[in-house]
């Protein structure tokens, strides 16, 4: 299980929920928060997830993650964030032209490991959204997770990010869940009841201390500020924490509200004292 158990124990022993947040580096920087602003503003985020890396053939490409952010800016900000104790990882997601069932997953995993070593990343997030045939979905994700587990350095952990209540996810996580440190649920725009149902579903086969519920400041999939508070407070002593999509969009130009309001709202309720 490598460091999955250690991650869970640190979360439980500290009594704190984990706050992970994506940064969509492919969003136009003229209307988005810059990647370096995460460090400059000293945001209280435990894990920052760069979006996205994807397969090009059987190799990893960072075309999305470097669309508006240079490699030098990525590297310098990653170093500064890590020096302050923030974990930084990369989310990987296949594309319509390079589905997981179309590539050599062993070769791809080794390509990911090379990039992890080059950039000094702490974890890889697997975004379980794919347009591949359903018959291939379970075996491909199981193989991908196994290959990554084998190829990555032992101190590099894996996250698994998925939607609502999925039987496909259940079969995948029952098979290789021991390799996963955190399962992040994209429950963004659902009601409190639907979030509760999603959490309860996954908690049947995933340790609740590994589950992070998702909130979003993306206007296309917006979580109301009331639900940001509700979701953060939900099962405060048993769930792993909260995941935010996406730091690049948390500003007045995107949400119409004060910049960093969604991020700050999660932080406000994260310790449970304001719930």
pLDDT for the residue 6: 38
Overall average pLDDT of the 235-257 stretch: 95
109-112 long-range contacts, CB within 8 A, separation 24+: 109/144, 109/147, 109/148, 109/150, 109/151, 109/152, 110/151, 111/58, 111/59, 111/60, 112/53, 112/60, 112/148, 112/151, 112/152
Whether residue 127 contacts residue 92, with contact meaning beta carbons closer than 8 Å, is answered with: yes
Residue 118 confidence (pLDDT) above 90: yes
Beta strands 59-61 and 87-92 are unpaired
Which of 10-24, 45-59, 200-214, 252-266 comes out lowest in average pLDDT?
Answer: 10-24
3-state secondary structure 213-251: EEEECCHHHCCCHHHHHHHHHCCCCCCCEEEEECHHHCC
Segment 196-201 shows an average pLDDT of: 95
Share of the chain above pLDDT 90, in %: 84
| pLDDT reported for residue 19 | 97
Residues 35-61 have a mean pLDDT of 96
- % of the chain residues with pLDDT over 70: 94
Q: Report the alpha-carbon distance of residue 263 to residue 245 in Å, rounded.
A: 10
Look up the pTM and report it: 0.93
Distance CA 224, CA 230 (A): 10
Q: Is the pLDDT of residue 245 over 50?
A: yes
Could you tell me the domains of the chain?
A: 4-270 (3.20.20.80)
């Amino acid at each position: 299980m490598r460091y999955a158990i250690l991650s869970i124990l640190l979360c439980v022993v500290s009594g704190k929920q984990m706050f992970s947040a994506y940064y969509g580096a492919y969003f136009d920087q003229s209307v988005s928060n810059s990647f370096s602003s995460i460090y400059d503003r000293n945001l209280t985020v435990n894990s920052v997830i760069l979006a996205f890396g994807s397969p090009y053939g059987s190799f990893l490409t960072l075309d999305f993650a470097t669309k508006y952010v240079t490699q030098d800016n990525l590297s310098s900000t990653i170093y500064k964030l890590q020096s302050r104790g923030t974990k930084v990882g990369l989310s990987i997601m296949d594309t319509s032209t390079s589905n997981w069932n179309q590539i050599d997953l062993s070769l791809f995993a080794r390509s990911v490991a090379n990039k992890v070593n080059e950039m000094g990343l702490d974890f890889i997030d697997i975004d379980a959204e794919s347009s591949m045939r359903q018959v291939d979905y379970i075996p491909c994700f199981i193989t991908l997770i196994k290959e990554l587990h084998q190829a990555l350095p032992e101190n590099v952990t894996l996250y698994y990010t998925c939607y609502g209540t999925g039987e496909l996810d259940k079969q995948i996580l029952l098979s290789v869940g021991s390799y996963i440190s955190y399962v992040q649920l994209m429950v963004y725009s659902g009601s409190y009841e639907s979030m509760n149902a999603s959490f309860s579903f996954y908690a049947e086969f995933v340790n609740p201390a590994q589950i992070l519920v998702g909130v979003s400041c993306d206007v296309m999939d917006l979580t109301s500020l009331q639900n940001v508070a509700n979701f953060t407070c939900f099962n405060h002593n048993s769930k792993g924490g909260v995941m935010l999509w996406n730091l690049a969009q948390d500003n007045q130009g995107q949400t119409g509200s004060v910049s960093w309001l969604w991020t700050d709202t999660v932080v406000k309720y994260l310790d449970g004292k304001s719930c």
